[in-house]
Structure 1
Amino acid sequence: MRIQIILLAAILLQSCVNQKSSSNKNEVIEVAQYKGQQVTGVSVSHTGRVFANFPRWREDVENSVVEVAADGTTRSYPSERWNNWAIGKSISDSVFVAVQSVVVHNDDLYVLDTRNPLFKGVTDAPRLFVFDLNTNRLKDILVLSPKSYKPTSYINDLRIDEKKNCIYMTDSGEPGLVILNLSTKESKRVLDNHYSTRAETDHLTINSVKWNNTVHSDGIAFNSKTNRLYYHSLTGYNLYSVSADLLNNGDKEQIEADVKLVAKTAAPDGMIFDDKGNLYFADLENNKIQYLTPDGKINTLCEGGKIKWADTFSIFKGYLFYTNSRINETQNGVSDLTFSINKIKIEE
């Protein structure tokens, strides 16, 4: 009888352990939160440094770029001076004007400044500020060539291709992709107003409420193993890809002919590949984070109230970091809303 009791206790204990493991698998862990400051971008370095950005969609932006400490506190990055620009002030190459994305690559932080504050048009050429994370000093300024953007462009997100020594970017204001050659420092525009970069609808429906907007090519992800660039309009349901070789060396007809429909998906914002070839993206209309496997299956990583417009993703040591930008909830302002950076386990 005693042996049976011991065995039963062991079984119950193991069951509890398994239940705990299962419940923790998709546990959302908050990294930082911001009251009244709408965070969109996040990127984590290979040493674990966390950076975030706040777009100039309204006048009361406290910081454009911050570094997030382990306890969730933040500091202006690289300094307060870089972040002190406000509407009406003069514009220079030592201030952030309207930052949409931050991306860490190796030991550099790329800060994408749309130069389009309040969506009122491009004030001067969109650019990338590159900071050396070893010194926290400005390393380079990459200014887009005049023909690669338009007066109402909103250069949204970027990915870096080491083999081709270039940067790929999406334009969500005017449908198209931009490729910047890091050797020549020249940029060009491709798939301009192409069906694959245009929005497919003028609204999304979230929690039974219509969010009326038309957002073109937005999410972008580069698969270095297949050598293809993946991209997606925000108000749309089709994921496309195109050859990196042709983007860099092909002509207009060759590039357009190579565009492939990869999958029908939910409407997402940002996207990212992990080392296994899984492509992570949000289902904005259903408060989910999903991923497309290399064999074409779409799975749900997590869903529920802790996912509120999962905007941008970054991966570090088996965790998927994401921002809750709550874009659909901001019609009446953001002062009473709390935005957050979170992380969730994706690897065992």
Structure 2
Amino acid sequence: MKHFPRSLLAAAVLWSSAGQAAPAAPSPKQASRLEVVAVSDVRPGNVAVSAQGRVFATFHPLGGSKVQLGEVKDGRLQPYPDLSVQNGGAAASDATFDTPLGVSVDSSGRLWVIDMGLKLGKTRLWAFDLNTNRLARKIELPADIAPKGSFVQDFAIDEARGWAYLADIANPGIIALDLASGKARRFGGHRALQSEDIDMKIDGRLVHFGGKPARVGINPITLSADRETLYFGAMNGTTWYRLPAKLLREGADDAAIAAAIAPAGPKPISDGVATSAVGDHYFTDLQRHAIARLGRDGKLSEVLRDPRLQWPDNLALGPDGWIYVSVNQLDRTPSFTGGADEGRPPYHLYRFRAR
């Protein structure tokens, strides 16, 4: 999962002691499909891949890393673009990363990173030019749209029209950001943005926060290949929704936006998603240590299952049919266990081929 509101993180986090069933082992065929891309002693956050096959990942804020963004080189994550933008454990500042998580590469060769600003108290969207490896843009979201305490942790970029669509799970909503002007609007209050009343169970254990089962709203969010349709869903949700993106771009009122939201199909309880050029949606399936696909026929199927997928956080489409996945054992962090970190490094970035 990306992150939680501070009130929830501060609360006592409990796991039920019942049900300790181990995940089903993969078949030899499935196991052979999961290929290690990188290993890390610190939890990765989200992963992104360029058209040239360069692989990038944030380090998850729950991991306590002094480096926040890296590029895979020789099977390890090295600081990207260099140490100058990493906070190194120092106090939060405008010049360095704070708590970035979501990351994406657009078709223009820019690496976009959303920085939740949990310490700094403001949300920023960074963009790096992969040709020069230099900072190209840094946009601060308006304080009335993403106030202190927001958890804007996943997004989709429309580089052709110059828009970004971001998901805030603290106050479940969609933020539409005009990249040229920096102006933004928020849409919230709709039931599609909220968690369903459905439990999350991993390895047979029920995830609790503050003495009650976790309920996490809008998290995964993507765009269609033509950037005309915005897709989104709750982490604790079994329905994938669609919305014409132009309504957000053109300033339609909330009633018109709400009326245009429609189900796109079923989904598993998931943290990350990637939508292919042909319209298939690939989801991380947290409960089953699996990857699922929602096809154009509207049917949900399992692509692969492997016990190494212990909290598959997000997905990224790469060249030559590869799909990349970050795995960080987030359910074993103190924020979930209420005690010691039960994670077992190293942590991994994997990839597999879509079939």
Q: TM-score range by the shorter chain?
A: 0.7 to 0.9
1:150–1:226 Cα change, 3 Å: closer
Residue of 43, 62, 67 corresponding to 1:63: 67
Match of 1:211?
207
Q: Deviations over 1:300-343 (max 9, x none)?
A: 11002122221111111211100112211222316643321000
Match of 1:40?
45
Choose 328-337 or 197-206, whichever is displaced more.
Answer: 328-337
- Bigger radius of gyration among the two: 1
Match of 2:36?
30
By how many angstroms is 1:261 displaced? 1.6
Residue of 133, 140, 143 corresponding to 2:140: 143
Q: How does 1:222-261 map to 2 (within 5 A)?
A: 222-225=223-226, 227-249=228-250, 250-261=252-263
Determine helix, strand or coil for the equivalent of 2:44: coil
Determine helix, strand or coil for the equivalent of 1:95: coil
Displacement over 4 Å in runs of 4+: none
1: distance between equivalents of 2:31 and 2:88? 42
Q: Deviations over 1:272-324 (max 9, x none)?
A: 11122110002111111011111111121100212222111111121110011
Determine helix, strand or coil for the equivalent of 1:174: coil
2: distance between equivalents of 1:93 and 1:151? 15
Is 1:295 aligned with 2:300?
no
Match of 2:8?
none
Asked whether the 8 Å contact 2:87–2:98 carries over to 1, the reply is: no
Match of 2:12?
none
1: distance between equivalents of 2:163 and 2:135? 19
By how many angstroms is 1:85 displaced? 3.8
Asked whether the 8 Å contact 1:25–1:345 carries over to 2, the reply is: no
Match of 2:311?
309
Match of 1:170?
167
Choose 308-317 or 326-335, whichever is displaced more.
Answer: 326-335
By how many angstroms is 1:164 displaced? 3.1
Asked whether the 8 Å contact 1:229–1:242 carries over to 2, the reply is: yes
TM-score (norm 2): 0.84
Match of 1:198?
194
1:204–1:131 Cα change, 3 Å: same
Q: How does 1:88-99 map to 2 (within 5 A)?
A: 89-99=90-100
Is 1:188 aligned with 2:193?
no
Q: Deviations over 1:199-244 (max 9, x none)?
A: 2247411111111233221101101347211111112222111111
Match of 2:24?
none
2: distance between equivalents of 1:130 and 1:23? 39
1: distance between equivalents of 2:278 and 2:227? 12
Determine helix, strand or coil for the equivalent of 1:343: strand
The number of residue pairs the alignment matches comes to 315
1: distance between equivalents of 2:220 and 2:230? 11
Determine helix, strand or coil for the equivalent of 1:328: helix
Is 1:125 aligned with 2:122?
yes
Q: Deviations over 1:18-63 (max 9, x none)?
A: xxxx93796100111122x1112100111111100112225x3131
1: distance between equivalents of 2:160 and 2:81? 29
2: distance between equivalents of 1:32 and 1:201? 36
Match of 1:345?
353
By how many angstroms is 1:73 displaced? 2.1
2: distance between equivalents of 1:201 and 1:326? 24
1: distance between equivalents of 2:34 and 2:343? 24
TM-score (norm 1): 0.85
Determine helix, strand or coil for the equivalent of 1:147: coil
1:102–1:300 Cα change, 3 Å: same
Asked whether the 8 Å contact 2:225–2:279 carries over to 1, the reply is: no
Asked whether the 8 Å contact 2:44–2:57 carries over to 1, the reply is: yes
Amino acid of the structure 2 residue aligned with 1:338:
P
Q: Give percent identity, aligned residues only.
A: 25
Match of 1:269?
271
**Coordinate RMSD, CA, aligned:** 1.9
Asked whether the 8 Å contact 2:121–2:147 carries over to 1, the reply is: no
